[in-house]
């Protein structure tokens, strides 16, 4: 008996020890839960007992340089969500059917979300006010719980495709995916708000719950350096050039050389950022359904790509100013040493024979100025030999050509230069005139800005101001001069040579009436043999007296009947952009139209006047009056073509209308490569007026040949003294 008692005692002791250990474990676990992990479990309890819905912040507005034109803005829309556990099982089918009907969605897809075992499901976002009100009315009328309509925002681009690649676009979550929208996303996006409500353990809303609304903080607004008017001018002419010359794409940029402000930047073809995932060109639309998912992604990225900053190409002869800068800064030559260089039509470097664009003809003896004016490759190869590889590479680095410009946009590419350690005499020769190296269109513009502003390398930028909508915050972006890459003397010499190139050299196609223009043509070669694709280019500066604008235009792989030369294809585009932009900016002309060879006068307003009065007014100014019908002298004029305020050459006609008769139309004749005199006669016979820029042979015309326009309208033709252009 005593033995059994002792045994029981031992058993009891063991049980007590085990219980003690378990108690200690439970105590430690309690400490762990209550103290160490208290925050974690408190949050879990909060998450289980509450539900929060995000309230989107209003994304900041993007304005053009004037601060008045809205380029991107967010408008209020709604988001419809459901709380599946809060919808009675017997109501789920009816709720899904009604929501699908109102929101124009697939009923089965909506029903899947309504039946899910989750705390919240989004049925539709970006819902307009009308549909949102229908949903709210349905919820109210039927007493439906578990369906919510909350605030949301939708990004809108009022000017559709204008500035698309620069602005970029946002995703479904209103976060920037490209362009300014992506680069300045933190400034634009703001901080979302939320709505917090109570739920039971199963995630259902509790009766009489009080929801807490935490307001979102709206994003900051942004003011660009880009002027919407200048941008529209650039896009108009660039789009026309790409289409007329069957180019793969075109690029253009306008800089203010003194500050680096980008006034316009365009890539064509473009897209609509309101619908960024839809094909935009007719060619892409036709093949879209046949493409794989990967192919569609590739095509979309090509469409979105801002090629002005993201694509590098061999620039061609616009690069020659870099070589000329090195030569003048190193005192290897001066601008006007007569006969210092010679062009025999080609030049042998090692085993290579490199031709001038004029081959088999030659330019003969030339100075550096004449080499620039004639865009003569042998001159620049000879200059490059005198500079030498080591010194030349120092200037390539000085221009930051082996790096980025630092523009405030995503996706900028780095220029591609030869490695100084392995660079050969042939590399030096080809680089001297812009081949076998690659830079972006923007880098070319920055180079020409240095010539225009007295020798300073500026950092280009597209945003000049960030501010809050309520006025509590404002930040202005200052322009940056990175360094001086040439003396003012060198810059002035190059500017003079480039002006001579426009007045008497290969760049006459970029001339602008009333303004002194400096410019340089280019025809770059990208790839070799069967893969060869040309880059036609032109860089312009105006006015030379006090440079306000630098404009660079490039067309990649033009395949039209006009060839691939920069003078022919891009010069007239740059000239037109400079012409309209300078006049829009009210930049004073360097000389009056009356001082030029062709006299133009402003057309008076003839409406409300009698035919007799109109004839007298027009005859006094050197115009004549025409009409599609027989007119009596006492008839009152109701309309006229061209409109009042336009300018016309002396001897032109103004077509008038005395009733509501629709103006007659005519197809624009093709006068390219004809003399200006012959073109004028052709247009006159067609009932059209003409504005002539330059003299000699017609290089381009606007509107495009074949366009249908009203009789009496003005066709502008750009002429050059010779059709022999690089």
Nearest to 715 by CA among 650, 664, 667: 667
Residue 506 has pLDDT above 70, yes or no: yes
Q: Once rounded to an integer, what is the mean pLDDT over residues 327-344?
A: 94
Q: What is the pTM of this model?
A: 0.81
Residue 293 tokens, joined: 């998912």
- At residue 200, the pLDDT reads 54
Q: Residue 352 pairs with which residues in a beta bridge?
A: 349
User: In this prediction, what percent of the chain has a pLDDT beyond 70?
Assistant: 92
Name the 3-class secondary structure at 717: strand
Say if residue 514 is preceded by a cis peptide, omega within 30 of 0. Answer: no
Residue 725 has pLDDT above 70, yes or no: no
Residue 595 has pLDDT above 50, yes or no: no
Each residue's pLDDT tens digit, 357-399: 888 999 999 999 999 999 999 999 999 999 999 999 999 999 9
Residue 102 tokens, joined: 């109102």
For the ranges 41-55, 138-152, 435-449, 691-705, the one whose mean pLDDT is highest: 435-449
For domain 316-591, the CATH class is: alpha beta
CB count within 10 Å of CB 663 equals 16
Residue 402 has pLDDT above 80, yes or no: yes
Residue 184 has pLDDT above 80, yes or no: yes
Q: Between the CA of residue 627 and those of 126, 609, 630, 710, what are the distances in Å? A: 54, 15, 7, 12
Residue 344 has pLDDT above 50, yes or no: yes
Residue 462 tokens, joined: 């597209």
Residue 604 tokens, joined: 């008076």
Report the distance separating Cα 593 and Cα 572, nearest Å. Answer: 19
Name the 3-class secondary structure at 153: strand
Q: Which fold has domain 52-223?
A: Penicillin-binding protein 2a (Domain 2) (3.90.1310)
Report the distance separating Cα 669 and Cα 71, nearest Å. Answer: 37
Check the CA dihedral 426-432-433-436 and report its sign: positive
- Residue 1 banded pLDDT, cuts 50, 70, 90: very low
User: Residue 106 phi/psi, 5° resolution?
Assistant: -75, 125
- CB 575, CB 510: distance < 8 Å: yes
- CB 453, CB 491: distance < 8 Å: yes
- At residue 213, the pLDDT reads 66
Each residue's pLDDT tens digit, 62-104: 999 999 999 999 988 888 888 888 888 888 888 888 888 898 9
Residue 570 has pLDDT above 90, yes or no: yes
User: Residue 331 phi/psi, 5° resolution?
Assistant: 55, 35
Report the Cα 596 to chain-centroid distance in Å.
35
Q: Once rounded to an integer, what is the mean pLDDT over residues 168-187?
A: 93
Report the distance separating Cα 166 and Cα 184, nearest Å. Answer: 12
Each residue's pLDDT tens digit, 633-674: 999 999 999 988 888 888 889 999 988 878 889 999 999 888
Query: Strand pairing of 352-355 and 346-349?
Result: antiparallel
DSSP string covering 266-305, please?
Answer: EEES---TTSTTS--SHHHHHHGGGS-HHHHHHHHHHHH-
- Residue 445 banded pLDDT, cuts 50, 70, 90: very high
Residue 238 tokens, joined: 């660039």
Residue 594 has pLDDT above 60, yes or no: no
In whole numbers, what is the pLDDT of the chain averaged over residues? Answer: 88
- CB 324, CB 494: distance < 8 Å: yes
Catalytic positions, written as ranges: 317
- Residue 593 banded pLDDT, cuts 50, 70, 90: low
Q: Where are the domains of the chain?
A: 52-223, 316-591, 596-720
Report the distance separating Cα 417 and Cα 603, nearest Å. Answer: 53
Report the distance separating Cα 615 and Cα 638, nearest Å. Answer: 15
**Lowest model confidence (mean pLDDT) among 44-53, 268-277, 400-409, 684-693:** 44-53
Instruction: Name the region of 290 (left: φ>0; alpha: ψ -120 to 50; beta: rest).
Output: alpha
- CB 260, CB 461: distance < 8 Å: yes
* Candidate CATH numbers 3.30.10.20, 3.30.70.2190, 3.40.50.300, 3.40.50.1110; the one for domain 596-720: 3.30.10.20
| Better-scored residue on pLDDT, 6 or 202 | 6
Q: Once rounded to an integer, what is the mean pLDDT over residues 240-258?
A: 96
Q: Once rounded to an integer, what is the mean pLDDT over residues 404-412?
A: 96
Residue 600 has pLDDT above 80, yes or no: no
């Amino acid at each position: 008996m005593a033995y059994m008692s002792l045994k029981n005692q031992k058993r009891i002791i063991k049980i007590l020890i085990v219980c003690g250990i378990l108690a200690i474990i439970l105590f430690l676990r309690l400490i762990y839960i209550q103290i160490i992990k208290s925050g974690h479990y408190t949050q879990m309890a909060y998450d289980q007992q509450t539900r929060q819905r995000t309230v989107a912040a209003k994304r900041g507005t993007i304005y053009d340089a004037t601060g008045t034109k809205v380029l991107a803005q967010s408008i209020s829309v709604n988001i419809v969500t459901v709380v599946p556990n809060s919808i009675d099982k017997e109501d789920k089918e009816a709720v899904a059917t009604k929501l699908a009907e109102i929101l124009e969605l697939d009923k089965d897809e909506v029903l899947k979300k309504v039946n899910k075992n989750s705390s919240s499901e989004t049925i539709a976002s970006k819902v307009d006010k009308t549909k949102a009100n229908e949903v709210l009315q349905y919820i109210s009328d039927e007493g439906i719980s578990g369906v919510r309509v909350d605030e949301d925002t939708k990004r809108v681009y009022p000017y559709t495709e204008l500035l698309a690649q620069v602005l970029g676009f946002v995703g479904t979550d209103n976060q920037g995916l490209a362009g300014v929208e992506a680069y300045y996303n933190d400034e634009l996006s703001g901080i979302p708000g939320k709505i917090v409500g109570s739920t039971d353990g199963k995630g259902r809303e509790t009766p009489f719950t009080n929801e807490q609304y935490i307001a979102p903080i709206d994003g900051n607004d942004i003011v660009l350096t880009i002027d919407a008017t200048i941008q529209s001018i650039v896009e108009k002419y660039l789009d026309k050039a790409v289409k007329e010359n069957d180019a793969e794409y075109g690029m253009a940029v306008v800089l203010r050389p003194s500050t680096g402000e980008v006034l316009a930047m365009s890539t064509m073809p473009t897209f609509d950022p309101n619908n960024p995932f839809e094909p935009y060109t007719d060619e892409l639309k036709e093949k879209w359904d046949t493409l794989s998912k990967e192919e569609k992604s590739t095509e979309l990225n090509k469409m979105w790509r801002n090629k002005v900053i993201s694509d590098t190409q061999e620039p061609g002869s616009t690069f020659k100013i870099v070589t000329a800068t090195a030569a003048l800064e190193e005192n290897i030559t001066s601008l006007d040493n007569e006969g210092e260089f010679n062009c025999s039509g080609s030049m042998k470097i090692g085993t290579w024979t490199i031709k001038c664009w004029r081959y088999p003809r030659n330019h003969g003896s030339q100075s550096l100025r004449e080499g620039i004016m004639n865009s003569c490759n042998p001159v620049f190869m000879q200059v490059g030999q005198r500079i030498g590889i080591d010194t030349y590479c120092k200037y390539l680095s000085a221009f930051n050509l082996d790096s980025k410009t630092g523009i405030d946009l995503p996706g900028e590419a780095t220029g591609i230069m030869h490695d100084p350690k392995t660079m050969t005499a042939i590399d030096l020769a080809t680089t001297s005139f812009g081949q076998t190296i690659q830079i972006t269109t923007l880098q070319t513009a920055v180079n020409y800005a240095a010539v225009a502003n007295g020798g300073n390398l500026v950092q280009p930028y597209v945003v000049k101001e960030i501010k809050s909508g309520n006025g509590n915050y404002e930040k202005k972006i200052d322009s940056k001069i990175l360094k001086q890459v040439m003396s003012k003397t060198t810059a002035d010499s190059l500017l003079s040579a480039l002006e001579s190139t426009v007045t008497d050299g290969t760049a006459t196609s970029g001339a602008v009436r009333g303004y002194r223009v400096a410019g340089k043509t280019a025809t770059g070669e990208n790839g070799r043999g069967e893969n060869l694709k040309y880059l036609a280019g032109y860089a312009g500066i105006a006015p030379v007296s006090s440079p306000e604008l630098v404009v660079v235009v490039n067309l990649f792989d033009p395949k039209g009947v006009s060839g691939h030369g920069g003078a022919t294809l891009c010069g007239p585009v740059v000239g037109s952009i400079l012409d309209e932009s300078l006049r829009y900016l009210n930049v004073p002309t360097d000389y009056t139209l009356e001082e030029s060879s062709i006299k133009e006068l402003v057309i008076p307003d003839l409406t409300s006047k009698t035919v007799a009065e109109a004839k007298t007014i027009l005859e006094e100014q050197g115009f004549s009056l025409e009409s599609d019908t027989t007119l009596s002298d006492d008839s009152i004029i109701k309309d006229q073509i061209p409109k009042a305020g336009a300018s016309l050459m002396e001897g032109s006609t103004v077509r008038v209308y005395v009733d509501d008769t629709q103006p007659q139309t005519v197809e624009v004749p093709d006068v390219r490569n004809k003399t200006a005199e012959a073109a004028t006669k052709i247009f006159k016979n067609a009932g059209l007026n003409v504005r002539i820029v330059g003299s000699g042979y017609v290089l381009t015309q606007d509107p495009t040949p074949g366009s249908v326009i009203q009789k009496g309208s003005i066709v502008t033709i750009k002429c050059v003294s010779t059709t022999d252009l690089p």
